[in-house]
């Protein structure tokens, strides 16, 4: 057991933020979970804004790694594309949590500027990957891949949000399936 407060704080903050958002992130509860005092968090992160920025950056970095892994292990782009919704499903499986990007998009007005920036990067990472894979799989023309990538990202996030509002993973699966039937996602 290697104690590492900074990493522990980051991991706990990520979990909290995916369930309660930026506004629901609080240092006392966070500290208790990590086993230190609330004030100690300020040793690692000068402010709540800095913590949230670090969490949001780590979040897209982790997602970028997952996406690359998905593409590699799937072998071909179309199979990777089919499995993309699994990533958002996993958050719901994790006690009905949701994508940090989605939660923080709702909280846009109350987000410090640096946090907004990292949140946008998460969207960029996702849409760039989708665009690349859509193009490689020849699902749409290279010219259309960026637009379709954004549509898929937005729609999948919306499905996750709606499923969360009923704590119903089966609804998420049904929505993704409907996207496939309608032609938004490849079958």
Q: Can you give the binding site for DNA, defined by CB under 7 A?
A: 3, 5, 25-29, 31, 36-40, 42-44, 46-49
Please choose which of DNA, a second copy, none residue 47 contacts, taking the beta carbon within 5 to 8 angstroms, the exact cut-off set by kind.
Answer: DNA
Contacts of 183 (CB under 8 A, 6+ apart): none
Among 5, 10, 3, 2, smallest CA distance to 37 is for 5
| CB distance 14 to 58 below 8 Å | yes
Choose the contact partner of 25 out of a second copy, DNA, none; CB within 5 to 8 A by kind: DNA
- Return d(Cα 94, Cα 178) in angstroms, integer: 23
Contact in structure between 92 and 169 (CB atoms under 8 Å):
yes
* Residue 27 partner contact from DNA, a second copy, none using kind-dependent CB cut-offs of 5 to 8 Å: DNA
Q: Which is nearer to a second copy, 37 or 147 (CB)?
A: 147
Residue 100 CB, nearest approach to a second copy (Å)? 11
Tokens coding 158: 């919306």
Number of residues that bind a second copy (CB under 8 A): 49
Give, as ranges, the residues between 113 and 132 that touch a second copy (CB under 8 A).
Answer: 116, 119-120, 123
Helices (H) and strands (E) in the chain, counts: 9, 0
Give the integer Cα–Cα distance in Å for 45 and 10: 10
Cβ closest to a second copy, residue 33 vs residue 36: 33
Q: How far is the CB of 40 from a second copy (least distance, A)?
A: 25
CA distance 96 to 166: 9
Does 54 help bind a second copy (rule: CB under 8 A)?
Answer: no
The site for a second copy (CB under 8 A) is made up of 19-21, 23-24, 96, 98, 101-110, 116, 119-120, 123, 144, 147-148, 150-151, 153-159, 161-162, 164-167, 171, 174-175, 177-179, 181-184
């Amino acid at each position: 057991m290697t104690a590492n407060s900074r990493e522990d704080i980051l991991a706990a903050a990520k979990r909290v933020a995916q369930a309660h958002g930026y506004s629901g992130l609080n240092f006392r509860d966070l500290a208790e979970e990590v086993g230190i005092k609330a004030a100690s968090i300020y040793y690692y992160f000068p402010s709540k804004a800095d913590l949230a920025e670090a969490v949001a950056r780590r979040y897209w970095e982790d997602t970028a790694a997952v996406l690359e892994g998905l593409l590699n292990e799937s072998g071909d782009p179309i199979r990777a594309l089919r499995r993309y919704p699994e990533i958002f499903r996993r958050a719901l499986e994790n006690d009905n949590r949701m994508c940090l990007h989605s939660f923080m998009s709702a909280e846009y007005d109350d987000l410090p500027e640096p946090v907004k920036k990292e949140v946008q990067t998460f969207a960029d990472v996702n849409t760039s990957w989708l665009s690349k894979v859509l193009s490689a799989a020849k699902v749409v023309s290279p010219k259309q891949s960026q637009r379709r990538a954004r549509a898929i990202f937005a729609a999948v996030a919306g499905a996750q949000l709606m499923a969360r509002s009923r704590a119903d993973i089966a609804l998420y699966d049904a929505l993704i399936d409907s996207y496939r039937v309608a032609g938004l996602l490849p079958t």
